[in-house]
Amino acid sequence: MATIREVADIAGVSVATVSRTLQQPERVSPKTRARVTSAIEQTGYKPNLMAVKFRSGKTHSLVVLVPTIANLFFARVINGMQEAAAERGYSLLLGNTQGNPDLEADYVKMVQTSQADGVIQLRAHNPFSAMQSSSGGLLPMVNVCEVVDSASFPTVTLDNHNAAKSMTEHLLELGHTRIGLIKGPNSSPLTQERLRGYQHALANADIPFDESILFDGDFTLRSGFDAARRMLEQPNRPTALFCENDETAIGAMQALKQAGLKIPEDISVAGFDDIAFSGYADPPLTTIAQPAEEFGHTAVSLLVDVLNGKIKKAPRVIMPHELIVRNSTGPAPGTNA
Amino acid sequence: MATIREVADIAGVSVATVSRTLQQPERVSPKTRARVTSAIEQTGYKPNLMAVKFRSGKTHSLVVLVPTIANLFFARVINGMQEAAAERGYSLLLGNTQGNPDLEADYVKMVQTSQADGVIQLRAHNPFSAMQSSSGGLLPMVNVCEVVDSASFPTVTLDNHNAAKSMTEHLLELGHTRIGLIKGPNSSPLTQERLRGYQHALANADIPFDESILFDGDFTLRSGFDAARRMLEQPNRPTALFCENDETAIGAMQALKQAGLKIPEDISVAGFDDIAFSGYADPPLTTIAQPAEEFGHTAVSLLVDVLNGKIKKAPRVIMPHELIVRNSTGPAPGTNA
DNA sequence: ATGAAAGCGCTAACAT
DNA sequence: ATGTTAGCGCTTTCAT
C-alpha cells in the first residue's frame, strides 16, 4: 500500500503538500493540486486512517451500548443513529452488552483507550460510574430510550408516564375497570414510569389499584405468554391487559387465544412500541408509537455536540409519542359501546 | 491521560520495559514488573490503542456488512459473530448497507485505510469487486448467509435448495398438489435456490410447475400480506403457500385470515428461518430452522483464519437445517390424513 | 534483564 | 504557495 511519501515523491512535492491537498485543497495551487491528485490516482494511495486518527486524536467513532440487538425497537433506533452518524462523518461501533455492566465497562474502555470518541447508552445505567467519576464536566456520552437521570450527560427519552397513562385511559374509556398489567424488568426505570402512569390513570378514574393483576415480564415474547397463562389461572380475571411492550403483548395474545378467549370481545390487549409485527398480529395490536429513528438522530446529534464542546449543560430531551388504536382493544364485555 | 513515558519515569525504567511488561511479562524480572505495575495503577495508565493499532498495523476490528439490521435472523447471526469475535480479541463494526453497493464500497474502504482487518458480507455480492480485483490470493473477507460463489473468499451458507425441497415435500406428503410460492427478491441467489428446490420436489412428485402461483416478495411482512392478497384474487387458489421467509409468511397469514380462511384447514402456510415470532404466530408457523448463531461463529472463525494466513483455499461451508413442523400446515382440504 | 533509538504514516507549526 | 521538521504513543530491533 502506497504511503503519503511515495505520492509526494512522484508528484515532486513534500508530504505536507500532499496532506494539504487532501485536507484543505484551497491552500494549494491548482497546478500542484493536479499533480498530486494524479500521483494519488497513479499509486492508488489511500491515507492510513489509523495514522490519521492516532495523530489527530479524533477517532470519529462512537460506541453504542445496546442490551440486545435482537429487539426491533432498538434496531430502528440504531438505524436512525447510523444515518445521523454518517451525515456527520462518524461511524458506529455496536456493543451487544446483554445489559451486563462488566461488558459495558469493557466497551467504555474504548473511549479511554482512544478507540472511540464517545458512547451512546441505550440502557438506564451509567457505564462510566465504575470509573473515576467525572470531575464536574460532561461525560462523553448520551443516554437514550431507557435513561437514568444525571447532570453528567444528556438524555433522550419518552414521557413514559404520560404514554402509559394515555393507554390506560383509552382502556378506561372503553369501559374496562379491571385492567391487568404485564411489566418489564423491575430493574428498569422505564417499567416503573409506565407502572406509575397506569396507576395515575386508575387513580383519576377512582379505581383502586390491585397488585394481584400486575405480572412480571422481561419484554420477550415468552415472558408475555407465561404472564398471560399465570393471569388465566387466577379468579376474577381482568377484561383488559396492558403490556409494557409489543413483544410481550404478542406473546400474551397467543396464550389468551389458546385458552379460547376472543380478542377484543372477551379481553382487550394493548402493547407499547409499535414494532412492525404489531400491525400484522391477530388482531392487529393497539399500541404506543415512538419515533424510534428520531431517538437515534437526536442521540447522535447531542453526542457530537458534547464532543465538540457545544453543550455545557446536559439537556433532557422528551420525544413525542402517539396512541395507535387498532383492533386488539374494544369495549369491555357487557358494555354497549 | 497518562502515557507510557510517564509510567516509565515513575517506575524508573525505560518505555521499552513498560511495553514489555504489558506484552510479554515473562521477559521482565518480577521485581521491575512489580514496580511497573504499581506505576501503571498509580497513573491510571491505559495504552492508547489507536497508537498500538497504528504501530502494529493490526486493528483487530472486523466490518460486518448487513443489508438491514432490522431483521431478526440477521440479528441472531450478528450475535453469534460478536461472541466469536470477542473470544478472539476482535471487535465488530456494523455497517447497515441497505444492500447499496456504494455504501458497501465505503465500508470496504475501512479495510483499505487500515481501519479494519477484514469484512464479513451478509449479502450475495462481492463488495471488493469494484476495486482492483485481487491478484490471485484470498480477499480479507468471508461471505455468509446469502452467498456468491468465488474462489477469492470462503462462504458459509445453507443448502437452500434441499431445505426448500424438504419443505415442499412436507407439503406434498400432506396431500397438497397445488402449492403457491412467495419468493424473496429476485436479485438474490437465495431466492433462486429455494425456488429450484421447490421445483425439484414438485418434479419428483410429477406435479407440473405452474408459474401463475409464484408471487414476488421482498422478505418483509407487508410484501407477504400483499402477495397473499394477489393470490386470493386469482381463480383456483392453492391449498398451501410456501413463503421464502417467516416475515413474509406471517404477513401472508394475516391476509388469508382477514379473507376468512382458516389455517391450516383451508390453506397451509409455511415459512423459512424460524424467527422467534414464528412460534407465537397464530397458528404457530411451520418453518425451516437455521443455526443462525453458528453462522456467525463460523464466519468470524474463518475470517480470522484468512487474516492469519492459515487458509489458502477458500472453503465452502454448508450449515445444517431442520424442518420444524408446527400448526400452520395440515392435510390438504378433502384429504383424510 | 534492560535501555537506546529508530521509526509506523501522518499532521501542523514554523520557515521560506 | 510550499517545504522542513518535530513529534503523536507505541513497538521492536539491536546493544549493553
Residue B294 is predicted with a pLDDT of: 97
Chain B contact for A105, CB < 8 A? no
Could you give the C-alpha distances from A75 to A94, A116, B102, in angstroms and in order? 11, 21, 22
Q: Which of B29, B120, B23 is nearest to B81 (CA)?
A: B120
Choice between A309 and A280, residue whose per-residue pLDDT is larger: A280
pLDDT at A269 over 70: yes
Cβ <8 Å between B110 and A49: yes
Contact between chains at A75 and B79 (C-beta distance less than 8 A):
no
- Could you tell me where the DSSP H helices lie in chain B? 4-11, 15-23, 30-43, 49-56, 72-87, 101-112, 160-173, 189-204, 221-233, 246-258, 292-307
Q: From CA A231, how far away is CA A55, in angstroms rounded? A: 61
Q: Which residues of B touch A79 (CB under 8 A)?
A: 68-70, 96
**What pLDDT is stored for residue A133 in this prediction?**
53
Count the Cβ atoms, other than its own, within 10 Å of residue B1. Answer: 11
Over residues A323-336, mean pLDDT: 91
**Residues of chain B above pLDDT 90, percent:** 71
DSSP state of B113: T
Please write the tens of the pLDDT for every residue from B38-69.
999 988 888 888 888 888 788 888 999 998 88
Q: Which has more confidence, B243 or A72? A: B243
Long-range contacts of B209-217 (CB under 8 A, 24+ apart): B210/B178, B213/B178, B213/B179, B213/B180, B213/B181, B213/B238, B214/B180, B214/B181, B214/B183, B215/B180, B215/B181, B215/B182, B215/B183, B216/B182, B216/B183, B216/B186, B217/B182, B217/B183, B217/B184, B217/B185, B217/B243, B217/B244, B217/B248
Residue A126 banded pLDDT, cuts 50, 70, 90? very high
Lowest mean pLDDT, pick from A9-23, B124-138, B155-169:
B124-138
Can you tell me the mean pLDDT for B149-167?
Answer: 96
Arithmetic mean of pLDDT over chain A = 92
Q: Which among A70, A109, A254 has CB closest to B79?
A: A70
Tracing cell 435456490 back to the chain, one arrives at B193
Res A131 pLDDT > 80: no
Confidence of residue A70 (pLDDT cuts 50, 70, 90): confident
Q: What does the pLDDT look like over B206-226, one tens digit per residue?
A: 999 999 999 999 999 999 999
Asked whether the beta carbons of B200 and B161 are under 8 A apart, the reply is: yes
Q: How much is the pLDDT for A48?
A: 86
Give the CA radius of gyration of chain A. Answer: 26
- Tell me the one-letter amino acid at A297: H
Q: Which of A82, A132, A221 sits opposite B280 (nearest CB)?
A: A221
**Nearest neighbour of B280 by CB, restricted to A48, A109, A251:** A251
Partner A contacted by B277 (CB < 8 A): yes
Residues lining strand C, beta carbon within 7 angstroms: A 1, 3-5, 15-16, 19, 22-23, 45, 47-48, 51-52, 54-56; B 12-17, 20, 27-29, 31-33, 54-55
pLDDT bin (cut points 50, 70, 90) of residue A135 is low
**In the block, residue with C-alpha cell 499533480:** A35
Q: How many angstroms separate the CA atoms of A70 and B76, rounded? A: 7
Residue A136 pLDDT > 70: no
Looking at residue A93, what is its pLDDT?
85
Mean pLDDT of the A304-315 span? 91
Distance of CA B200 to the CA centre of its chain: 26
- Minimal CA–CA distance to A18: which of A29, A31, A33? A33
Give the pLDDT band (50/70/90) at residue A105. confident
Question: A200-219 pLDDT, tens per residue?
Answer: 999 999 999 999 999 999 99
**Cα(A64)–Cα(A40) distance, rounded to whole angstroms?**
35
Tens-place pLDDT, residues B227-273: 999 999 999 999 999 999 999 999 999 999 999 999 999 999 999 99
How far apart, in whole angstroms, are the C-alpha atoms of residue A43 and residue A21? Answer: 15
Domains of chain B: 4-47 (1.10.260.40), 58-158+292-320 (3.40.50.2300), 160-290 (3.40.50.2300)
Q: What is the pLDDT of residue A52?
A: 81
Name the minimum distance, in Å, from the CA of A28 to any CA of chain B: 24
| Contact call for residues A122 and A155 (beta carbons, < 8 A) | no
One-letter identity of residue B178: R
Q: Which of A50, A94, A114 sits opposite B59 (nearest CB)?
A: A50
d(CA B261, CA A17): 72
Task: Tell me: pLDDT of A241 over 90.
Answer: yes
DSSP secondary structure string, A210-223?
A: -GGGEE---SSHHH
Residue A278 touches chain B, beta carbons under 8 Å: no
Check residue B46 and give its pLDDT. Answer: 86
- Distance of alpha carbon B154 from alpha carbon B138, whole angstroms: 9
- Asked which of A100-114, A172-186, A272-286, A315-329 is least confident by mean pLDDT, the reply is A100-114
pLDDT confidence tier of residue B152, bands split at 50, 70 and 90: very high
Starting at the earlier edge strand, list the strands of the sheet with B268-270: B214-215, B179-182, B240-243, B268-270
> In this predicted model, which residue has the larger pLDDT, B25 or B135?
B25
Q: What is the DSSP letter of A186?
A: T
C-alpha A162 chain-centroid distance? 19
* For testing contact with chain A, the best of B77, B98, B114, B133 (most A CBs within 10 A): B114
Closest CA to A117 of A313, A305, A307: A307
Instruction: Note whether B46 contacts A112, CB cutoff 8 Å.
Output: yes
In this predicted structure, the answer to whether residue A43 has a pLDDT above a threshold of 60 is yes
Percentage of residues in chain A with pLDDT exceeding 90?
69
Nearest chain B CA: its distance from A313 CA (Å): 24
Per-residue pLDDT band for A262 (boundaries 50, 70, 90) equals very high
- Cα B200 to Cα A11, B35, B131: the distances in Å are 61, 71, 38
- Selection from A104, A131, A99 nearest residue A119 by Cα: A104
Q: Which three cell numbers stand for residue B237?
A: 387458489
Quick one: which H or E segment has residue B155?
strand B155-158
pLDDT of A287 higher than 90 = yes
Question: Averaged over A313-324, what is the pLDDT?
Answer: 97
**Calpha distance B337→B335 (Å, rounded):** 6
Which nucleotide comes closest to B55 if you measure CA to C1'? Answer: C8
